[in-house]
Amino acid sequence: MDERNINMPLLGDPFPEMKVQTTHGPKNLPEDYHGRWFVLFSHPADFTPVCTTEFVAFQKRFDQFRELDCDLIGMSVDQVFSHIKWVQWIKENLDVDIEFPIVAANDTIALKLGMLHPGKGTNTVRAVFIIDPEGIVRLVLYYPQEIGRNMDEVVRAVKALQISDRQGAVPAGWPNNELIGDRIIVPPATDIKTAEERSEKYECFDWWFCHKPLE
């Protein structure tokens, strides 16, 4: 495969428009989710051990995503019949009911998202796209086939993006940062007057590093 033909949306780009077939019927992305956040995550193949653990882990956090007004969408290049049978297998054998749709992608869709793993045939990488209510790509995570994802980090990322949109930047490891806990970082001052006022309004290590309580 010529890697130069692989494209992927970058942060701040509109999510590519596409019509897809899912286990919940046909959908138009991102149009059908306008006004809501959604997480689209791809997996290499149905009926594989790591992917099965990931789907169970995402489903276990389904209510957490719903509380954030965020939908989950799975995706691989398996056919929808395989997706349906796999979901049934998970229910019958692991007693977990997968409530989110799974997209049956084709190579064209996978290439639009840079999901096909170079040198691995038609298997898709473990990609995560977090899309905001305006259909804009806000975060992208890529994992190799050999490493399962941390779903708590995906939940944290959605929550942090929503908070940063309203209040300011979040620190490393938020909400358990070693320096400021769950507090929010105030945007740096861009002029001398504002810099001098910072320490009067906020708690600061210096004028360029001020923080405030989470609202």
pLDDT reported for residue 4: 42
In order of their start, the domains of the chain are 3-149 (3.40.30.10), 167-215 (3.30.1020.10)
- Which residue did the predictor score with more confidence, 187 or 72? 72
Q: What angle do CA 140, 146, 149 make, to 5 degrees?
A: 40
- Stretch 71-77: mean pLDDT, rounded? 93
- pLDDT tens digits, residue range 163-179? 999 999 999 999 999 99
CA–CA gap between residue 84 and residue 189 (Å, rounded): 53
pLDDT tens digits, one per residue of 21-67: 999 999 999 999 999 999 999 988 899 999 999 999 999 999 999 99
pTM: 0.90
Closest residue by Cα to residue 185 from 195, 194, 193, 174? 174
pLDDT of residue 118: 59
Q: Classify burial at 158, counting beta carbons within 10 Å of its beta carbon; exposed 0-12, middle 13-18, buried 19 or more.
A: buried
Mean pLDDT, all residues of the chain: 91
What does the alpha-carbon distance between residue 186 and residue 194 come to, in Å, rounded to a whole number?
Answer: 12
Question: Catalytic positions, please?
Answer: 51
